[in-house]
Structure 1
């Protein structure tokens, strides 16, 4: 018998391991190590409180990460390495172009059916959805929409996408409602301020009108008093002018008419509103009984403004009649009435 045949049979009898079996065992061990780093370890981290769901600060830090220069040029192994790095740094779905989901999907584009990428996307989908939900709650709507679209590429039939889209729509409507309420509140406040300002202006205008009315009344009273004082000296000056004639008359002794009742003229309303002043010269006849008749305007400045007031007032004056040798007589006089606004 051949010794080599005998040795081979003896080796198989002792249980020697076939080389093919060794190769299979090595492949299984390699897959187990990959599964540990890509699947089992993230789960254990989640169980111990180190969940791969990124927080706000982690997302901010992730955003600062620099993406690879040319992702399309990376090999499958390089993409898987980038994906593992992104997983460790909590960059599941953000930032855009530099996150684990995009790296794994790029792997599947280059190598459809890659078990490592497919299993990782399936096992980490819930964590990516949780990160997207946090983005929705932060009301970063554009980023949230991008992340939802990214998850849809990974698993378009997953029911979680419907929930995320509903939450995004609800948050948008809530924000729109809050903004509308803020606008309405601002409009109501503005309307209230305008109403208060209008009420204040109306009160100020009413106070100003009352002050003007009182001032006009005081000015009218002052004008009446001034005109009364001005009229008395005018009447008193006439006897002084006639006095020099008395000694010249041998037989006649004449005395002028003396004003004993004076009525102040009414200041015309139109002239008062226009702030007009002026004077009127009138000619009048004093009868033997002291009454005034035939009152006529001989001159005025301005014309036809104070004429009627002057005539009405002078017509009601009363005089002690002029006399000649002690007998009453009719005389014609001329008087000037001043119309001044008191200031």
Structure 2
């Protein structure tokens, strides 16, 4: 193989998307964008990115942000540990590096939440350091270019492809080269058997295309089936808003707020749900049934169902609060898993119904 970088970078300069973190490619902006784009589509992440950097424009602001406010800024992106690690890393930057990201691959790699790929992206794009940034897009591009059917989930395959990436890297433009590879994978060399070979600047040297195998590459084993977990939700509203409970500080969706919800080996009946709430010190009047919903995590699927209820209870157990609509919008970060139930329209409707029940 040879001559990959020149046509690739030329294509990138003509076809790259005009993304906000490319308009102002500071190390901080690149870092935030790369973390947000893990497990998140660009189109979905952009409004979050713009809001985030407007409120938290540098590592010092990120380090000092109240955790609840940080979770609220992140609400809807999911994988909230990413936000927690961002803040931990920002603290390290303020303590050790004067509030700036260091122009050093190993120092970047040592920061919380930053792996090989993210460190490589920041180092090459922001600082011009010739290091690889190999993500799923790049693995797919090179597996097809070289007609390599090795399992790309295996570490030795990633190491072999990384060596090829480095062999083609122009030392004077590592950032443009890495971005071009990512962009090619995102726009042209698409996953799931759908490469747009007619638009590819590397089609003429693609061994996978020449062998008629591009659509079947890369090779990776099927993902294991996700565990389905029944979750029963109690949407409790009253004159003071909607009842929310803080999730534990560790584990899935750590520290976020949710309506009372219970995992079990079966959807709870209303009587079983009522008994669980009473054991927590909550008394409600049941008013109806919630529609079923589904939320997919990396390794599990929540199958949600439940009931709505009214309550005017003033004194609440320690982990519960009443959240009115302004506070719900401003302060309380509720996971998107509950978006089918906790919305402004839903809460207003339930409060209007409950006003008749509770009087």
Range of TM-score over shorter length:
under 0.3
User: Which structure dedicates a bigger proportion of its chain to helix?
Assistant: 1
TM-score normalized by structure 1?
0.16
TM-score normalized by structure 2?
0.16
